[in-house]
Chain A
Amino acid sequence: MKGGSNLEKILTKGEFAVTGELGPPKGNDVEAVKKKAGMLKGYVDAVNITDNQTAVVRMSSISASAICLQEGLEPVMQMVCRDRNRIAMQSDIFGATALGISNMLCLSGDHQNFGNQANGKNVFDIDSIQLINTVKRLRDEKKLLDSDEEIEGEVKMFIGAAANPFAEPYEYRPYRLKKKVEAGVDFIQTQCIYDMKMFKEWMKVVRDLGLHEKCYILAGVTPLKSGGMTKYMANNVPGIIIPDEIIKRMTSAPKGEGAKEGIKLCCEQIQELREIEGVHGIHLMAIEWEHRAGEIVEQAGLLPRPKVD
């Protein structure tokens, strides 16, 4: 075992995994974290705790992860390269593992221009692939970056990263995943998938490169809440492609039925993704829709979640 987490055990047993996503509050409201954790517990194997996503200041990923652990929900602590240098990152990894966190996701992070601290300075001392490699070194060699001194204790971490099959240059994206695998990633979660054809093409190259045997791939899904949201995402969110037939299906849903249609569509997508060779699970990003995550997992036939130990 690399991190010894529930998620890792499920994946190594060959079970189809489900991860969710939880955005910490824009403040220190513990109850808000507990409430969201309560909505997801039992429906997902682990939950990503975002790290100041879209560069909006929120409760730290490490603290919200620790609260989730207390609530009995396993966290995947996200860590972005935007806000910390290598000293802070490695120190936080020591801290996180000391608190019992055993999954993490290494990300570049959205640029601070997007958020509520646009005048801030960014760090980007190392990038996301270098971070993967740094965590692996801490775990497998017990050494800090650039140092041969042995660390005290053990860093048990199941290392994750993101992959976006829908960002340009498309032909390079599977090779970028290869680079992450070589850097030491154990699992990846993809950007949300709407264009199945494109995702299948990406997966084919991934399989040809043998990457599905070297890391676990969790396919990203996000339920669409309405026709309006669908159009907004299609036009405004970089790195997301929504095919016209989905836009049409969502915008032509009867008034008040958009959410229902979105959930139905999401479940169909999950079924389709399960059939793809090399997909080891799904990553359900029901952002600010945590209360409906359980319903989606249930409708998709993914309950009960397997118990491993």
Chain B
Amino acid sequence: MIVADRKPIEDIKEMLTPYKKILMVGCGTCVSVCMAGGEKEVGVLASELRMIDKMENKNWEITETTIQRQCEREYIEPLEEKFKEADIVLSMACGVGVQYMVEVFPEKIVLPALNTTFYGTTVSEGEWEERCAGCGECVLHLTLGVCPVARCSKGLYNGPCGGTDMGKCEVSKELDCAWYLIHNRMKDLGKIEMMGTFIKPRSWKQSLNGGPRKRVREDLKK
């Protein structure tokens, strides 16, 4: 899923200060699972904002709603009336959701309430970790299912570097060294010789470095 984090309340307050009628839109998919922008989080943020409104006389009128997905037109279109009434829209979706709402209703400004952080998973209650960086050319078959791009702090294709310490990354004791994990998996699965294979420099064209990416399936195009 796409993992995100809510922006600090001060930042959100500052963004909203010039406006009166605020429409808050939550998203019921990824950011709901990672508890950053689902219905519940919309409610929590709305009550924080109402408190600020009361104490600082902002004259805000806050409307809350949450849709299934902000990255698909069919879920956004039914919001037409609500959009019309609002001065400003505060999206609690990932960056894709914010942008897609703008594309559906170009006459409105949509503000981001979240910082979209990574593609990851819930590792334990209240803890999420990055697993993929969408690099465009997956090498998980070469690393036995541990991503060197997203999980090695230096994105090394031929790790580990000399900084690994007790299985942790040199960058932080909180981070597992991805190459330590790769090594141990190869060893445990009887494929240690894979650690000796030199992985050649890749092309970054398929990643963001080749410019914004687009996927086309001619057979599906109408």
Contacts and interface: CB of A to CB of B under 8 A. Distances in A.
Interface of A: 81-82, 86, 108-111, 113, 122, 124-130, 133-134, 145-146, 162-164, 167-169, 172, 175-176, 178-179, 182-183, 191, 238-239
Contact of A82 (B154, B157, B195): B154
Interface string B167-198: 10011100001001001100100000001101
A169 B157 CA distance: 16
Contact of B201 (A113, A130, A238): A130
29 contacts: A82-B154, A108-B154, A108-B156, A111-B153, A111-B171, A113-B153, A124-B154, A125-B201, A126-B201, A127-B155, A127-B156, A128-B156, A128-B161, A130-B199, A130-B200, A134-B201, A146-B201, A167-B164, A167-B165, A168-B164, A168-B166, A168-B180, A169-B160, A169-B184, A172-B183, A172-B195, A176-B195, A179-B196, A238-B165
B154 A145 contact: no
Given A169-B180, A178-B196, A239-B164, A111 B158 contact: no
Interface of B: 153-167, 170-172, 177, 180, 183-184, 187, 195-196, 198-201, 203-204
Contacts of A127: 154-159
A238 B183 contact: no
B158 to A, nearest CB: 4
Interface SS of chain B: loop
A68 to B, nearest CB: 25
Contact of B170 (A110, A122, A182): A110
Nearest to A145: B201
Contacts of B198: 129, 133, 179, 182-183
B159 A113 contact: no
A168 B203 CA distance: 29
Nearest to B183: A169
B171 A113 contact: yes
A167 B166 CA distance: 8
A48 to B, nearest CB: 15
B183 to A, nearest CB: 5
A179 B161 CA distance: 13
A109 B156 CA distance: 11
B162 A164 contact: yes
A239 B165 contact: yes
Contacts of A126: 201
- The 10 nearest A-B residue pairs measured at CB: A164-B162, A238-B165, A129-B158, A127-B156, A108-B161, A130-B201, A126-B201, A124-B155, A167-B162, A111-B171
A163 B161 CA distance: 9
Contacts of A145: 201
Contacts of B170: 110-111, 238-239
A232 B185 CA distance: 33
B163 A110 contact: yes
Nearest to A111: B171
Contacts of B165: 167-168, 238-239
Contacts of B204: 125
A81 B163 contact: no
Given A127-B156, A129-B198, A179-B158, A168 B167 contact: yes
Contacts of A113: 153, 171-172
B156 A239 contact: no
Contacts of A168: 160, 164-167, 177, 180
Contact of B195 (A110, A175, A191): A175
Nearest to B169: A111
Given A125-B201, A127-B156, A128-B158, 16 more contacts: A86-B201, A108-B161, A111-B171, A127-B155, A128-B161, A130-B157, A130-B200, A130-B201, A162-B162, A169-B164, A169-B180, A169-B184, A183-B198, A191-B162, A238-B164, A239-B162
A179 B183 CA distance: 14
A202 to B, nearest CB: 13
A59 B195 CA distance: 36
